A = this chain, B = another copy of it.
């Protein structure tokens, strides 16, 4: 037996017991005839004492040990004279009588501590050492806990956890698929699922009523900080459910998780906001509602005063930064540069200082007098001391710029506190999105999303105007989940495919089984999927999902630890009847 207790377990009441511990050497101190070792495992740290007088041999041995050695000790629990109040085991230490080195350690390539000296690349290569750091231990424990909370809630709500296949079929709609060559069916390929969408819908057709799965999904996309080629989804579907049933069920789930994991109270029902309101007020379909600073459209107020920039702009709008009228010229110049970066793309920045004395100072004083500027201030409900920041130009670009500017000002004013969580359902998304490049409509959510019944007639006459019963859960400006009421009628699904430019044959080839299934009594159904990695990183108060994933890939989709992807043998490719080509074949 390697241990009688773990390293976080011993307390004052264990004094006098003979125990065995195993763990990693965290720290070694030699003090005169005594050597102290902190021994660590997942559960905590315990102090070991080696007395040269009592046990000269093992004390000498203990002095040879290095950090991260794995050792096993026997000894007696004794009360510490010098208690450590910061450690749950700090009342006791072990007078060691026996020492067994289970495994030696080279000096790690970086320090295994809260603040490590290892760079990103090095820590990814030695991920198994990085994973020893206390943050990562906490984050993976948190991930475990959240997964259990999710299941506990959904089990209680009569959801069945049902596994759907990973080897499925490639469909060109949506993001790019990873494909898997089939040896038994040469020249044919499976695809890895971007989501279990059609399978969960089929489970509804099969009568399973409520389904969930915490499941890996795959997208072959170019990566960003919050994207991974494989990611985890909390995937759910309900039969005989309307939008409101989904919102209620899953805001309750969210509330339960935040309460049980963080002891944070969320009030239900969560606020609901139509997509177009989110776009108008926040320039963004996932607004951060931890702070106000809403966008105001100023077109009517500012046009026709001979200021060409505004007169020629499709859209003029701004935000009001409270108590920031003191911003210096230099700061405003920096902010102007900031909005002119290509990521934002604004031409310039107009400011209006509403001074404490009630006067105005703006970058457009030549065109607008105090009376005019007062009207602007009134529009924003600004008070003396506030600063108005205004952008103008193409509507889409300007709204995006204002959204970014708002978030930036939120950061500067410390309005985006990571301990505060403000949830929001964004609803009434458009069903379709026009793509200029390909001159066709795309499904904003996916092709299985149902139009709002009252908008169905518009599909033929004005497809861009059709709203969907689709919804996103947004917390603190992060899209945590999204879903929709689904189409459950074959004819409507066919029409949807047609609107999306599928030929009848393509629709039949790719989704024939689904439309067939709808022939045999499909219940109305709706569902939602949560980005599990994002949910965990939000709760962990992190910006990237990478540190809530045990073995993530880097930005090139590589696992630098195992060195993957990698070459495979010629024999493997031959079995699959594939050949590598240097350049794309035409």
Query: Which chain A residues have a beta carbon within 8 Å of chain B's beta carbons?
Result: 1-3, 6, 22, 24-25, 40-43, 68-70, 102-106, 108, 126-129, 131-132, 137, 140-141, 143-144, 147-148, 151, 155, 160-170, 172, 176-185, 187-192, 198-199, 202-203, 205-210, 216, 218, 220, 222, 229-230, 232, 239-242, 245, 488-489, 513, 516-524, 549-551, 553, 556-559, 561-570, 572-585
C-alpha spacing A569/B168, complex, angstroms: 16
- A to B CB contacts below 8 Å, 23 in the list: A2-B242, A2-B524, A22-B523, A24-B523, A69-B521, A70-B524, A105-B519, A128-B206, A131-B206, A132-B207, A144-B161, A166-B230, A167-B178, A169-B559, A179-B572, A179-B576, A180-B192, A185-B556, A188-B567, A189-B568, A513-B562, A570-B585, A577-B580
Q: Are B181 and A179 in contact (CB under 8 A)?
A: yes
Cβ-closest chain B residue relative to A217: B166
A contacts with B: majority SS: loop
Cβ-neighbour of A209 out of B42, B524, B579 (below 8 A): B42
What is the oligomeric copy number? 2
What residues on B are CB-neighbors of A574 within 8 Å? 584-585
A468 to B203, CA, bound (A): 44
Is the beta-carbon distance between B557 and A165 smaller than 8 angstroms?
no
**A556 and B184 in contact, given A151-B148, A165-B230, A524-B2 (Cβ under 8 angstroms):** yes
Q: Which residues of B contact A6 (CB under 8 A)?
A: 209
Cβ contact within 8 Å between A229 and B523: no
Q: Once bound together, how far apart are the Cα atoms of A164 and B41, in whole Å?
A: 21
Complex Cα distance, B166 from A583, in Å, reads 28
Compute how far the CA of A579 lies from the CA of B130 in the bound complex, rounded to whole angstroms: 40
Structural contact, A222 and B579, CB atoms closer than 8 A: no
Residue of B nearest to A229 (CB): B167
Least distance between A516 CB and chain B CB atoms (Å): 8
Question: Which of A40, A172, A242, A564 has the most chain B CB within a 10 Å cutoff?
Answer: A564
Task: Write the chain B residue with the least CB distance to A185.
Answer: B565
A516 to B168, CA, bound (A): 36
**Contacting pair A558 B185 (CB below 8 A):** yes
Least CB separation from A67: chain B residue: B521
Tell me whether A165 and B551 are in contact in the complex, defined as CB-CB below 8 angstroms, given that A140-B208, A188-B565, A556-B184 are known contacts. Answer: yes
Known A-B contacts A103-B488, A550-B162, A584-B577; the reply to A184 vs B222 at CB < 8 A is: yes
Name the B residues within 8 Å of A43 (CB-CB). Answer: 209
Residues of B within 8 A of A40 (CB): 207
CA distance A28 to B166 in the complex (A): 39
7 interchain residue pairs of minimum CB distance: A131-B206, A105-B521, A2-B240, A169-B564, A188-B565, A182-B565, A574-B584
- CB of B164 within 8 A of CB of A551, answer yes
Bound complex: CA of A178 vs CA of B191, how far in Å? 12
Residues in B with CB closer than 8 Å to A570 are 585
Q: Are A216 and B579 in contact (CB under 8 A)?
A: no
Taking a contact as CB atoms closer than 8 A, the residue among B1, B151, B516, B551 that contacts A151 in the complex is B151
Query: In the bound complex, do residue A190 and residue B564 qualify as a contact, i.e. CB atoms below 8 Å apart?
Result: yes
Task: Determine the distance from Cα of A212 to Cα of B558 in the docked complex, in whole angstroms.
Answer: 25
Query: Is A522 touching B103 in the complex (CB atoms < 8 A)?
Result: yes
Task: Contact check, A106 vs B140: say whether CB atoms are below 8 A apart.
Answer: no
Docked-complex contact A164 and B567, CB < 8 angstroms: no
Q: Contacts A128-B202, A206-B132, A565-B189 hold; do A559 and B182 have CB atoms under 8 A apart?
A: no
CA distance A438 to B559 in the complex (A): 33
Contacts of A147 in B (CB 8 A): 161
Find out whether the CB atom of B169 lies under 8 angstroms from the CB atom of A563: yes
Nearest CB of B to A142, in Å: 10
Contact A131 B519 (CB under 8 A): no
Assembled-state Cα–Cα distance A161/B151 (Å): 12
Q: Distance in Å from the Cβ of A510 to the closest Cβ of chain B?
A: 9
CB neighbours of A141 from chain B (8 A)? 160
A205 to chain B, nearest CB (A): 5
User: Could you tell me the distance in whole angstroms from the C-beta of A563 to the nearest C-beta in chain B?
Assistant: 7
Q: A106, A132, A184, A557 — which one has the most chain B CB atoms within 10 A of its CB?
A: A184
- A160 & B180 in contact (Cβ 8 Å cutoff): no
Residues from chain B with Cβ under 8 Å of A69 in the complex:
521
Q: Which of B129, B143, B187, B556 contacts A206 (CB 8 A)?
A: B129
A222 to B581, CA, bound (A): 29
9 other A-B residue contacts (CB within 8 Å) besides A102-B488, A191-B564: A68-B520, A108-B520, A165-B553, A167-B559, A179-B576, A180-B180, A187-B567, A187-B580, A577-B581
Assembled-state Cα–Cα distance A182/B199 (Å): 26
**A557 and B185: CB pair below 8 A?**
yes
- A199–B551 CB distance below 8 A: yes
Q: Which residues of B contact A188 (CB under 8 A)?
A: 565-567
Which B residue sits closest to A6, measured CB to CB? B209
Q: Which of A177, A207, A573, A576 has most B Cβ within 10 Å? A: A207
B-side contacts of A162, CB under 8 Å:
140, 143-144, 550
Residues of B contacting A578 with CB < 8 Å? 578-581
Question: In whole Å, how far is A241's beta carbon from the nearest beta carbon of chain B?
Answer: 7
Indicate which residue in B70, B518, B585 contacts A523 across the interface (CB closer than 8 Å). B70
Q: In this complex, what residue of B is CB-closest to A176?
A: B183
